[in-house]
Structures are given as C-alpha cells and as structure tokens.
Amino acid sequence: EFARLQDAAPPVPYREIATVIEAELGAPPETIYAEFEPAPRASASIGQAHAARLADGTPVIVKVQRPGVADVVEKDLAVLADLAHLAATRMGFGEYYDLEDWVAEFAHTLRNELDYTREGNNADRLRRNFADEPALHVPQVYWQLSTPRVLTMEELRGVKINNLAGLDAAGLNRRRVAE
C-alpha cells in the first residue's frame, strides 16, 4: 500500500501544477525553465515530479506538491487523532498501546513531508556528510527555484533498488548496493 501511495497516484493535470509553480516561484514554468515536461515522470500521494532543464541546459527534476494536499492531510490526521482517542479511552487494548502519541508522531512526520525545504536541507546535509564517499551521489538542490511546495533538484538516472533485473542489467553488485 505504501508503494502504491509513493509511486502510483493519478497525476495532477499540468495546468494545476503550473498554477502551483507560478504561485510559489512567481512565474509559469515555461518562463522559469528552458524546458518543462508537462507529463510527470512520477506521481505520488503528496506530489509529482517533472523533468525540466535550466537556462544553462542542466537537466533537473521539479517536484511539485499536489494542490490542496495539505488540507486533505490535516483533515485525515484529525480523523485519525479522533479514532486514536476513542480507541485509547474505550477499548481494552487502548491501555496497552499509546495510540494517541503514535498518531501525534505520525502527524509530525507527515507534516514534515509536506515541506520540501526540509527535504532539500536533508539532501544538502547528506551531501556534506558523505562528500568523501564515491559510491554515493546526492542530487544538488537549486534553492533559487525551490520553496516549501516546489523542489528543483539535479536529475539523476538510476535503477530502483527493488528492480533486481534492472540492477543486474546495469552490472551493479547487489551486495554492494545493499551495503
């Protein structure tokens, strides 16, 4: 189910994505980027990713938050908090499990996912911390084109870790990848 939420959400129409970008960055994607692919490369529950090129030709991925997703998340979290409270106070297993604290922690984590600047800052920190590790490349964040709802990062090509045939075809050592 989590994989489905991450990778298989229906895409948001381009005009809605362009509206988010314009609201966040002050201009439509066609003005900001030298090229911007209207069809997403990936679409997930919180946002979707579009390929683009900077003015200097650098290929990037632009992650754009779904319009209205923050409101939906807050409503869902409120329902979840109510259910946790109900279970904690009226059901036998409530005394053994701290459901309300679990929901609060989950809500905190999910709210952090809605702020793409946190993701960008984490990428920058990883890049600094692993600068001497040749087997790891963390994409560059283009901060002048990033906000809490839009994240522009260096495009990297790769193989998903669960695509064993793809890893083998690329000549990658699975054990080394796992390490």
pLDDT (tens digit per residue) in 93-115: 766 778 888 888 988 888 888 89
- Predicted confidence band of residue 1 (pLDDT cuts 50, 70, 90): very low
Residue 35 has pLDDT above 60, yes or no: yes
Residue 5 has pLDDT above 80, yes or no: no
pLDDT of residue 112: 82
Q: Give the mean model confidence (pLDDT) for residues 128-155.
A: 95
Residue 3 has pLDDT above 60, yes or no: no
pLDDT of residue 2: 47
What are the distances in angstroms from CA 76 to CA 72, 79, 124?
Answer: 6, 5, 31
pTM value surpassing 0.75: yes
Q: Which string of DSSP letters, residue by residue, matches 122-178?
A: HHHHHHHHTTT-TT--PPPB-GGG--SSEEEEE------TT-HHHHHHTT--HHHHH
